[in-house]
Structure 1
Amino acid sequence: MPSFEFKHKGRRSVVTDVQSDAVNTSLPADFADNQQDWYKQVAKVFARVQKKDIADVPLDVWTKLIHTTYEGIDVNPLYTRADELAEVSAPGVFPFTRGGVATSAERIGWDVTETFGGTLSGTSGDPAATNKAILHALNNGTTVVVVDLTAGLTAADLSVVLKDVLLDLVEVRVVAGTEVKAAGEALKKLAEDAGVADKARFELAAAPLTDSIVGAEGISLADAVAIAVENAAWSGTIRTLLVDATVFANQGATDAQEIGFALAAGVEYVRALTEAGLSVEQALSQIAFRFAATDDQFAQIAKFRVARTLWARVAEVLEAPEAGFAPQHAVTAPAMFSQRDPWVNMLRVTVAAFAAGVGGASDVEVLPFDSAIQGGLPGTSRVFAARIARNTNLLLLEESHLGYVVDPAGGSYFVESLTKQLAEKAWAEFAGVEAKGGLREADIQADLDASYEKMRSDIARRVKKVTGINEFPNLGEKPLPAELRTEPTGIRRWAADFEALRDRSDAFLDANGKRPLIGMIPVGPLAKHNIRTGFTANLLASGGIETANPGQVTPGTDEFVTAAKASDIVVVCGTDQEYEATGADVVKALREAGVSTILIAGAEKSFENADVKPDGYVNMKIDAASTLSDLLTKLGA
């Protein structure tokens, strides 16, 4: 069984792995035969798709279905009892893999979090309006209130902002920027004046370590620690420090990096707090975590389980295992939000919220669907955007009844296996940072850059699909105003490269009254060219380029000449067999018609024997973002 080492103040302790290796499950007598049957059925499917004889397809062809994550974890197409692992502790019990608390009649599922007072709220700088919005939200399902004091509100406004909020029932967090101490004092006074100090739950979300990574305005680590020491002595619950792992996710971190770097930040805080005089238990009680939830469903379920488990293991090494559970806030990942066709974000956040909730997050904040657009989508009510976000959580909790099930993914061969493997990868990331002297000494930016580039490349080549962006784009939607075609700061959005192309197309539209256009030359009947004309139209639209499809055309006809003159650039679309029979003649005729750039929808091998070659190819293997950028340049956009 592998083990982990972690040093604290010169001590070295050995931490056991998250789970034991596979248990000796008694498999059914016919298990091996059934498994071989499955291998044969998979081989039959491959034989049919590849038009091969079944005898020519190996039984291990199923391995082609294995998917490898960005951490290097192989995800198999099928998990069985042979993959079973030893059962982990129950929810609410160390190491909290299955959840920090068990579901009870008083607490069904996760909390519903909403932020007020920020730039997207529509009430920034107005304490009374913010208070009205908070009370409305609390009456309609929100259970955790986050007050943003960085967009116009101040700590002095909190008495108005939180008027009539029952502080013994509602958890309140503030994003205070440089006003952490003032905000904390204001919150404590409000609770004391209301006589509920012993029942209040506050967080100040001071995040000096992660603020420094993105250059956000905040307080120093020393000041945050001093405030935490004061807060640890207060009669109520007030956590001062936040490990904001969304900062890592926004910079392109893999799930393992997000967890590993979060652990490193948490350990840095514990060291600083204990050096300032707090006990380990007191230090742990001053820390909360915040993670991004993407629409990669199973990976996110595992991520939240792993993050809890490994922080509990850290607490175990610090000899305070029972204090090893920290609030685990989830927010729908800003990096996955698109500006174009932002309505699709509603689908993304639904999957993300589901995964975070099922994964055991303490609370989930669903960001408004148009949060990637500065000020929100023009013409969209902020009340509507907030309501849709809030109701996404409520539908999952109250109509889908997910809150009534404790750790619903627990026991899944796949999820348990993924949890175990991700834990090992995340701990390795943490250990790597520790080996370099901790988060403040380690240069994690290079790691973030490398992982981001892998994902960016996959999106550019359309290996990773982003609906509405590099797949199924909607060129008919109303363009964003020019002043809103900007990138949010500190976030490397998945859609950014393709949306930059769409921005160029929109600018061309503004100047010319039409979008850049490329003509298609379909060869052969509809049934044969339709797949590649559809592929081409979808590909070009993702770069903001319209297409003209005249239907089947034949060299020597008036229709062919008209189609050839639709644009300086054309894409020939047909089957490989059609290219072999008439491809060279089509390219020659297009040259004679004066077309400057001729592309073929298909692989280069389809023209390897032709005496006349096209200028390029469009297919699933190209860097679509780069190719589309070049085409826009040629079209003058």
Structure 2
Amino acid sequence: MSHTKLIRMTVDRTVEAEPGVGPDIEAWRRSVAGVLAKSRRVSPDELGERPEDLLAIRTEDGVTIRPLYTSADDVPEQPLPGQFPFTRGGDPLRDVNRGWSVMARFGVNERDPEAVNESILAALESGTSALWLAVGGDNLPVEAIDRALKGVLLDLAPLTLDAGDQAGAAANAVLALLDARAREGDGVTDRSRVSIGLGAAPLTTLFANNYSPLGDTAKLRSVDLPGAVRLAATAVNREETIRALMVDATVFHDAGSSDAQEIGAACAAGVEYVEAMLEAGLSIDHALGQIEFRFAATDDQFQSTAKFRAARQVWARVADVLGARDAGAAPQHAVTSSAMMTQRDPWVNMLRTTVAAFGAGVGGADTVTVLPFDAALPAGALGVADSFSQRIARNTQLLLIEESNLGRVLDPAGGSWYVEKLTSDLAHAAWAVLQSIDGAGGFSATVESGWLCGKIEEVRAHRETEISRRKIKLTGVNEFPDSAEKPLPVGPDGTVPDRLAAGRVFRYAEPFEKLRNRSDLHLADNGSRPTVFLAPLGPLAEHNIRTTFIANLLGSGGIEAVNPGAVESSGLADAARQSGTRVAVICGTDKRYAQEAPDAVRALREAGMTSVMLAGPQSAYPDENTDVSPDAYLGAGIDAVAALAELLDTLGVR
């Protein structure tokens, strides 16, 4: 047989299934039941008809994620991009050679327009394709906008303003610039190709000023709602494509909201904007055309993809209820989550933002901003220039678009049983949030009464508990910490300053990072970190699992583990005395505990250990030896933040 025929037969047999042969779901379920029954030490018959349900998880929004999706989950194909409900995207003509727009922010804490202009032009030459310009206050002065945008072709690079209470003045400056260029002939024959977002955000600013998870902060300044509506009335009469109102949903995410809460609250704010514009005399189509959304993208890849698709569904439904279903395709700006950024092992943030940008891009976001990986740290804390972290952030997206070719396909996740089901479930959950806000009085009323803040606080508190118990994993923070990491510049208040929205971002890693900050201060004061002695029982093969678990746990609180390795029981006390610490954790198997743990507790206390703990649950310790019980039990699922804080107190760490 020739090589060609052999290859053809191999390929044919690979891609073609035999007639009548399909997946045997019942056989798979029997296999699942067999594995679960063994691990749970029960009979497979005791697990029910759907044993896979034991592997399902529920999200913060109550959405069930199953371990397997099949053709039974198939749904009718969604309409094409540009068609209601815009699940697959609002733009039917998006350039697949360009993909989404790569947006970077400029003008933050920079008042020199020439320096801003230099940064913008350099970024545009290096792959940035959309601009986010911070104006007013400590940022670029309004009167310098024209100089900052010198040489920028606004028909090629969409512009979004962030001007706070100077939104009106900034808008006038940009519109005057556009008119001046038109008079002078800047080469733009179709002014509708110019896309400007004026960024007026009074309602989401209202929320940010009424809720701060980390304490009192300075109030944000914003144009008021009537002023924002006046900007919208001006924008609808322009030849360019101008949207006056930004629903910045990242403020909900930063405060700790779930995805459904973020979408639902954003759409509730959008509804209030539309109502205000209708009262001012704008048509429903013009009013809907003045709104765009900004959402957070996280490192939960599929959740982010479904989130952007679901958000378009929900807003399209709002437009449908208002009688203008074809006008419900509002642009979406994705910003990688500030809340997920860490100060510890911040290099991992490069991976987090890559996954987040992937999820947002695949989910159909029109523009994406990737935060620099060191955004949660003071400038220069890692010894790298801002230009480096900004270049990495930009190139993250360029790799996804140019090398991975993600932008070449519209809605690549469409048709996936899992993604379609997750999108639908999330959209329904978000719609329920929108209805509950409406039923409680509407967006502004629920913010001012504290009702919406309270609902988000419930989710935030639950997530914090899950993080503290290490059920939510944060790589480099509460899992796999780098014990040799360089200390950070901890301030007198025990915190490390960051460049995010200070006081308005509930960063997931912060509870553990506060513990690490205490360790850094101890290192500075004493020349060494706090330490705990690991007391291994039995050979390495027996104790390795728990010594590794405890070393990982202690490291997440900035505590070093002194592990002597396998030692004879008779030598345990001597090893403890030589460890230089007065706290010990016994590590071994449950079987070994039954034989040796009580004697080990006695020996360690006689050796001077003031606190002796056991790796594992209390049930692992023999009941008949409660007279010499350990002082604490360190097992999976404990409140690690509380346990580590208490341990640092025991070790005398301020």
Q: Same fold (TM over 0.5)?
A: yes
Look up the match of 1:623.
639
C-alpha contact 2:96 2:407 (8 A) present in aligned 1: no
Indicate the RMSD between aligned Cα atoms, in angstroms. Answer: 1.8
Deviation, structure 1 residue 313: 1.1
Look up the match of 2:203.
209
Q: Distance in 1 between matches of 2:140 and 2:478?
A: 39
1:125 aligns with 2:111: yes
C-alpha contact 2:381 2:489 (8 A) present in aligned 1: no
Deviation, structure 1 residue 103: 5.3
Aligned residues: 605
- Indicate how the Cα distance of structure 1 residues 558 and 276 shifts in structure 2: closer, same or farther if over 3 A, else same: closer
Q: Distance in 2 between matches of 1:256 and 1:300?
A: 11
Q: Distance in 2 between matches of 1:636 and 1:418?
A: 48
1:229 aligns with 2:233: yes
C-alpha contact 1:554 1:560 (8 A) present in aligned 2: no
Structure 1 residue corresponding to 2:454, chosen from 440, 446, 463: 446
1:515 aligns with 2:529: yes
Matches within 5 A, 1:262-301: 262-301=266-305
Q: Distance in 2 between matches of 1:53 and 1:87?
A: 41
C-alpha contact 1:553 1:559 (8 A) present in aligned 2: no
Q: Distance in 1 between matches of 2:384 and 2:530?
A: 29
C-alpha contact 1:200 1:236 (8 A) present in aligned 2: yes
Deviation, structure 1 residue 53: 7.0
Look up the match of 1:156.
143
Look up the match of 2:130.
144
Matches within 5 A, 1:63-142: 63-102=53-92, 104-105=94-95, 108-119=98-109, 124-142=110-128
Q: Distance in 2 between matches of 1:482 and 1:82?
A: 54
Structure 1 residue corresponding to 2:490, chosen from 474, 478, 482: 482
Deviation, structure 1 residue 432: 0.3
Structure 2 residue corresponding to 1:180, chosen from 147, 167, 174: 167
Q: Distance in 2 between matches of 1:269 and 1:43?
A: 52
Q: Which runs of 5+ in 1 are unaligned?
A: 1-27
Deviation, structure 1 residue 178: 1.7
Q: Distance in 2 between matches of 1:629 and 1:200?
A: 55
Question: Which string of whole-angstrom CA distances, capped at 9 and with x for unpartnered residues, describes residues 13-71 of structure 1?
Answer: xxxxxxxxxxxxxxx9766x801110112123334545777677666332221011111
Q: Distance in 2 between matches of 1:301 and 1:106?
A: 18
Question: Which string of whole-angstrom CA distances, capped at 9 and with x for unpartnered residues, describes residues 314-369 of structure 1?
Answer: 11111111111111000001000001111000000011000001011111100100
Deviation, structure 1 residue 608: 4.0
Look up the match of 1:44.
34
Q: Distance in 2 between matches of 1:468 and 1:410?
A: 33
Q: Distance in 1 between matches of 2:37 and 2:49?
A: 11
Matches within 5 A, 1:228-627: 228-375=232-379, 377-442=381-446, 443-483=451-491, 485-486=496-497, 488-557=502-571, 560-563=574-577, 566-611=580-625, 612-627=628-643
Tell me the amino acid that sits aligned with residue 468 of structure 1.
Answer: G
Tell me the amino acid that sits aligned with residue 211 of structure 1.
Answer: T
Q: Distance in 2 between matches of 1:349 and 1:590?
A: 46
C-alpha contact 2:100 2:368 (8 A) present in aligned 1: yes
Q: Distance in 1 between matches of 2:348 and 2:432?
A: 35
Deviation, structure 1 residue 486: 3.1
Question: Which string of whole-angstrom CA distances, capped at 9 and with x for unpartnered residues, describes residues 253-292 of structure 1?
Answer: 1010000000000000001111111111111111110000
C-alpha contact 1:329 1:363 (8 A) present in aligned 2: yes
C-alpha contact 1:564 1:570 (8 A) present in aligned 2: no
C-alpha contact 2:533 2:576 (8 A) present in aligned 1: no
Q: Distance in 2 between matches of 1:563 and 1:89?
A: 71
Look up the match of 2:3.
none
Q: Distance in 2 between matches of 1:628 and 1:495?
A: 15
Structure 2 residue corresponding to 1:166, chosen from 125, 141, 153: 153
Secondary structure (helix, strand or coil) at the match of 1:441 reads: helix
Deviation, structure 1 residue 553: 2.7
Secondary structure (helix, strand or coil) at the match of 2:443 reads: coil
Deviation, structure 1 residue 106: 6.7
Question: Which string of whole-angstrom CA distances, capped at 9 and with x for unpartnered residues, describes residues 589-613 of structure 1?
Answer: 1122221111100111111424121
Secondary structure (helix, strand or coil) at the match of 1:342 reads: coil
Q: Distance in 2 between matches of 1:449 and 1:527?
A: 44
Deviation, structure 1 residue 552: 1.9
Q: Which runs of 5+ in 2 are unaligned?
A: 1-18, 183-187, 210-219
C-alpha contact 1:564 1:595 (8 A) present in aligned 2: no
Look up the match of 1:3.
none
Look up the match of 1:22.
none
C-alpha contact 1:103 1:406 (8 A) present in aligned 2: no
Tell me the amino acid that sits aligned with residue 549 of structure 2.
Answer: F
C-alpha contact 1:515 1:546 (8 A) present in aligned 2: yes
Q: Distance in 1 between matches of 2:611 and 2:302?
A: 44
- Indicate how the Cα distance of structure 1 residues 596 and 137 shifts in structure 2: closer, same or farther if over 3 A, else same: same
Q: Distance in 1 between matches of 2:240 and 2:485?
A: 51
Moved more, 490-499 or 215-224: 215-224
- Indicate how the Cα distance of structure 1 residues 381 and 270 shifts in structure 2: closer, same or farther if over 3 A, else same: same
Tell me the amino acid that sits aligned with residue 210 of structure 1.
Answer: T
Secondary structure (helix, strand or coil) at the match of 1:289 reads: strand
Q: Distance in 2 between matches of 1:401 and 1:554?
A: 59
TM-score (norm 1): 0.92
Moved more, 435-444 or 41-50: 41-50
C-alpha contact 1:521 1:564 (8 A) present in aligned 2: no
Tell me the amino acid that sits aligned with residue 528 of structure 1.
Answer: E
Question: Which string of whole-angstrom CA distances, capped at 9 and with x for unpartnered residues, describes residues 127-173 of structure 1?
Answer: 11111111111111111101111433111111111010001111011
C-alpha contact 1:519 1:563 (8 A) present in aligned 2: no
Look up the match of 1:13.
none
C-alpha contact 1:265 1:439 (8 A) present in aligned 2: yes
Q: Distance in 1 between matches of 2:381 and 2:584?
A: 35
Q: Distance in 2 between matches of 1:362 and 1:376?
A: 32
Percent same amino acid among aligned pairs? 46
Q: Distance in 1 between matches of 2:112 and 2:39?
A: 62
C-alpha contact 1:555 1:589 (8 A) present in aligned 2: no
TM-score (norm 2): 0.89
- Indicate how the Cα distance of structure 1 residues 606 and 564 shifts in structure 2: closer, same or farther if over 3 A, else same: farther
- Indicate how the Cα distance of structure 1 residues 132 and 534 shifts in structure 2: closer, same or farther if over 3 A, else same: same
Tell me the amino acid that sits aligned with residue 134 of structure 1.
Answer: I
